[in-house]
Amino acid sequence: MARSKPLLDAKETRDRIVALRAEVLKHQRAYHQQDAPLISDAQYDALVRELEELESAFPDLAPGTSPVDQVGFAPKREFSEVRHRVPMLSLNNAFEPQDVEQYVARLAQNLGLAADAPELRFSAELKFDGIAVSLRYERGLLTQAATRGDGSVGEDITVNIRVIPSVPPRLTGNSIPEVLEVRGEVLMQKQDFAALNQRQAALGEKVFVNPRNAAAGSLRQLDPAVTASRPLSFFAYGTGEVVLSRELESKLLTHSDWLNALQGWGLPVGTLRRSQLDAEGLRRFYADVLARRSDLPFEIDGVVYKLESLALQAKAGFVSRAPRFAIAHKFPAEEASTRLLDIDVQVGRTGALTPVARLEPVFVGGVTVTNATLHNEDEITRKGLMIGDTVWVRRAGDVIPEVLGTIAALRPADARPFVMPMCCPVCGTKTVRESGEAVSRCPAGLSCKAQRKQAFLHFAQRKAMDIEGLGEKIVDQLVDGGHVTHLSDIYRLDVPLLSNLERMAEKSAQNLLDQIDRSRDASLARFLFALGIRHVGERTARDLALHFQSIDALRSATVEELMQAPDVGPVVAASIRSFFDLPEQAAVVDGLCAQVRITRLDDRPAVAPVSVTVEGVKAAGEVGQTSTQAASYPFTGMTVVLTGTLSSMSRDQASDWIVALGGKASGSVSAKTSLVVAGEAAGSKLAKAQELGVKVIDEAAFLAIIAPYRQDS
């Protein structure tokens, strides 16, 4: 785990230790007392690691107590104190797989066991990213709750804990211990956090930077009514002081036995956990949980491994602030702080001006992030960002990076505000911002080069005309070189011209031309989507294609007629009408119609005529793919949600089948959901479906339903 550091002399080392101690103390205070961290957890961990390494390498240069031996921080003054009868300790961290291997090897050695000894088994569970609390039950009744504080003395938060719905005021079940101190974590679910922040922003109140801070701020309220208004959850992961019968003690021999017992007494325990794992099992658990992290309804910052056997736990003992029997295996941080170097303005396909943060490269969520969208001017104001600020950046799963907010305390004297340009940064046209709109636009349309480039990229994308190889680099050269102006110009390109472009040889030019030719044969739905009409996404394009059945019928439809199509309201109808009314766009469409053959209405899977009964629903009659009404199909009238990964088809293909067979494919689970199709690693949507009692089927069952209709099977 050693990180190389430049060599320092004795004085420099002592100065560094003193400075690091002061820095760590400052951050401990900000985190634990003020619920307002100044740096990310990963940065804090890095500081502590450096300090620990220096202190252990140079014990003579580091006398006195170190803040790294201290767990948390002393309580806030307003709360009364609770002395923990069993200290609330912390965990040592592992970051890399080798750190875990070393930990297991060292533990085995300390216990006098071989590294692969069968007794060396672990339980693995989630590392909840919330606030550690201790709940005391006496004869089954909740009598006291406390925060961790400095590990020895915490804050009395009994009244606040009582308002958390998942904390039982009374234990249920059999053989309840005389005294049971439950250790666990209070947290706020991601959805609840987003809703709380929206409410706070609407009221002009403080918005929280992440769910952990929101949970901390909500729990440590002097007025428990405020806590009650904040949706908090609790998960138990261990125990403190316990007084129990000998009989019970003889039955609870492993950590997993205890978690099961806690669950049996009505306490919420995380369900994503495993028992009796060896080192290979731990590796698999880590990988599995990491893959499901972004689907979980709450935040975790890693997983925790604990020796199963309580007898071995006792034998393993402790190192200053942490037990030897457990270790936290941390995930790459999803949040980090970095400098906001500048704010650029990009022009999108519809002329929208989007401010984009240029960031000092920062490793977050497993990748190096250098840019993040800031959406619009109001968003920058709401987040209080200034150029030069140190900001919080978040990148979770595959979600695009986001700037969460600024760290006001670290604002430099030369920080400057962002000003939205009055003119388009690409073509210089004066921008407009309509009242009630958050976005400024360049009104120049296709005469603005930026919008023209985006129009080509949109036209070529997979879900539109699907021209593989017509990417940003080629489009930039084609537009900048004046080789293409209208979309239809794509169909006039030839090999000599294309092979003259940068990074294009004759072979790749020919490939691109083949792709362009292939795209001439298109469905009406694709063609409409490819035109890039504002508010006409993929689904609307398909609805319009099925409703109007020809480009001419659509072009000549009035706003009222357009509104007869499914899901087309006044805004979409007006946008379509004004698109076709613009002579410039009409010319583009005419030009394209001369090049493209529209051979079908849409690209849904072809539905074969069948008459079978699937799950009691009769699928009758013959329905061609251009008709959406009449017959009953397995998903007729149903709202179906896909979650997780399907192994035999993409999500888009599965959605197509749901729609083709009469259903509506939806992205989120609600009481209105009729059915959830759960693939591999299904996460929060599956949990929600189970909570709401919505029917869930697996991939095999889904394939069985669609099988009679597949012409390829």
Nearer to ligand IVH, 104 or 187 (CB): 187
The DSSP bridge partners found for residue 186 are 131, 234
Taking CB under 6 A as the rule, does residue 182 contact ligand IVH?
A: no
Taking CB under 6 A as the rule, does residue 125 contact ligand IVH?
A: yes
Taking CB under 6 A as the rule, does residue 128 contact ligand IVH?
A: yes
Q: Residues near 542 by Cβ (< 8 Å), separated by ≥ 6?
A: 525, 529, 602, 604
In degrees rounded to 5, what are phi and psi of residue 430? -65, 135
Nearer to ligand IVH, 129 or 656 (CB): 129
Q: Which stretch binds ligand IVH (CB under 6 A): 105-113, 122-130, 415-423, 446-454?
A: 122-130
Tell me the two tokens of residue 652: 């888009």
Query: Is 127 designated active site?
Result: yes
Taking CB under 6 A as the rule, does residue 662 contact ligand IVH?
A: no
Looking at 238, 240, 532, 605, which residue binds ligand IVH (CB under 6 A)?
Answer: 238
Looking at 24, 42, 107, 132, which residue binds ligand IVH (CB under 6 A)?
Answer: 132
Tokens 């407009």 correspond to what residue?
432
How far apart are the C-alpha atoms of 580 and 116, rounded to whole Å? 72
In degrees rounded to 5, what are phi and psi of residue 603? -115, 25
Taking CB under 6 A as the rule, does residue 185 contact ligand IVH?
A: yes
Nearer to ligand IVH, 326 or 464 (CB): 326
At its nearest, how many Å lie between ligand IVH and the CB of residue 322? 7
Taking CB under 6 A as the rule, does residue 89 contact ligand IVH?
A: yes
Taking CB under 6 A as the rule, does residue 240 contact ligand IVH?
A: no
Gyration radius of the chain's alpha carbons = 30
Nearer to ligand IVH, 321 or 555 (CB): 321
Q: Tell which residue, 458, 664, 437, 634, has the closest CA to residue 567.
A: 664
At its nearest, how many Å lie between ligand IVH and the CB of residue 229? 24
Q: How many CB atoms lie within 10 A of CB 230?
A: 20
CA dihedral 164, 169, 175, 180 (to 10 degrees): 70
Distance set, CA 390 to CA 104, 121, 173, 358, 386 (Å) = 39, 44, 51, 12, 9
Contact 704, 677 (CB under 8 A): no
CA 348, 350, 353 angle in degrees (round to 5)?
A: 45
Q: Tell which residue, 487, 518, 484, 485, has the closest CA to residue 501.
A: 484
Nearer to ligand IVH, 90 or 655 (CB): 90
Taking CB under 6 A as the rule, does residue 42 contact ligand IVH?
A: no
Taking CB under 6 A as the rule, does residue 237 contact ligand IVH?
A: yes
Q: Given 5, 11, 26, 127, which residue is catalytic?
A: 127
How far apart are the C-alpha atoms of 195 and 190, rounded to whole Å? 9
Q: Tell which residue, 532, 462, 520, has the closest CA to residue 490.
A: 520
At its nearest, how many Å lie between ligand IVH and the CB of residue 311? 17
Nearer to ligand IVH, 292 or 375 (CB): 292
Taking CB under 6 A as the rule, does residue 602 contact ligand IVH?
A: no
Task: Give the residue at shortest CB distance from ligand IVH.
Answer: 132
In degrees rounded to 5, what are phi and psi of residue 488? -70, -15
Nearer to ligand IVH, 184 or 634 (CB): 184
The DSSP bridge partners found for residue 338 are 391
Contact 29, 73 (CB under 8 A): yes
Contact 528, 555 (CB under 8 A): no
Contact 452, 479 (CB under 8 A): yes
Q: Which stretch binds ligand IVH (CB under 6 A): 84-92, 432-440, 472-480, 633-641?
A: 84-92
Q: Tell which residue, 245, 292, 244, has the closest CA to residue 270.
A: 292
Taking CB under 6 A as the rule, does residue 155 contact ligand IVH?
A: no
Q: Residues near 198 by Cβ (< 8 Å), separated by ≥ 6?
A: none
At its nearest, how many Å lie between ligand IVH and the CB of residue 713? 45
Taking CB under 6 A as the rule, does residue 211 contact ligand IVH?
A: no
Sign of CA dihedral 391, 396, 398, 404: negative
* Count of residues touching ligand IVH (by CB under 6 A): 15
Nearer to ligand IVH, 329 or 486 (CB): 329
Footprint on residues 287-316 left by ligand IVH (CB under 6 A): 304
At its nearest, how many Å lie between ligand IVH and the CB of residue 125? 5
Binding mask 319-338 for ligand IVH (x = CB under 6 A): ----x--x-x----------
At its nearest, how many Å lie between ligand IVH and the CB of residue 320? 13
Q: How many CB atoms lie within 10 A of CB 669?
A: 22
Looking at 24, 38, 51, 91, which residue binds ligand IVH (CB under 6 A)?
Answer: 91
CA dihedral 501, 504, 510, 516 (to 10 degrees): -60
At its nearest, how many Å lie between ligand IVH and the CB of residue 127? 4
Nearer to ligand IVH, 164 or 474 (CB): 164
Taking CB under 6 A as the rule, does residue 127 contact ligand IVH?
A: yes
Question: What is the 3-state composition of the chain as percent helix, strand, coil, each rounded to the nearest 5?
Answer: 40, 20, 40
Contact 243, 137 (CB under 8 A): no
Q: Which stretch binds ligand IVH (CB under 6 A): 19-27, 34-42, 120-128, 440-448?
A: 120-128
Nearer to ligand IVH, 238 or 644 (CB): 238
At its nearest, how many Å lie between ligand IVH and the CB of residue 326? 5
At its nearest, how many Å lie between ligand IVH and the CB of residue 317? 12
Distance set, CA 74 to CA 31, 396, 397 (Å) = 12, 32, 35
At its nearest, how many Å lie between ligand IVH and the CB of residue 296? 13
Q: Which stretch binds ligand IVH (CB under 6 A): 14-22, 88-96, 155-163, 542-550?
A: 88-96
CB-count burial class (<10 Å; 0-12, 13-18, 19+) for 434: exposed
Sign of CA dihedral 469, 473, 477, 478: positive
Q: Which stretch binds ligand IVH (CB under 6 A): 87-95, 596-604, 621-629, 702-710?
A: 87-95
At its nearest, how many Å lie between ligand IVH and the CB of residue 2? 21
Nearer to ligand IVH, 132 or 424 (CB): 132
The catalytic residue positions are 127
**Interface residue list for ligand IVH (CB under 6 A):** 89-91, 125-128, 132, 185, 237-238, 304, 323, 326, 328
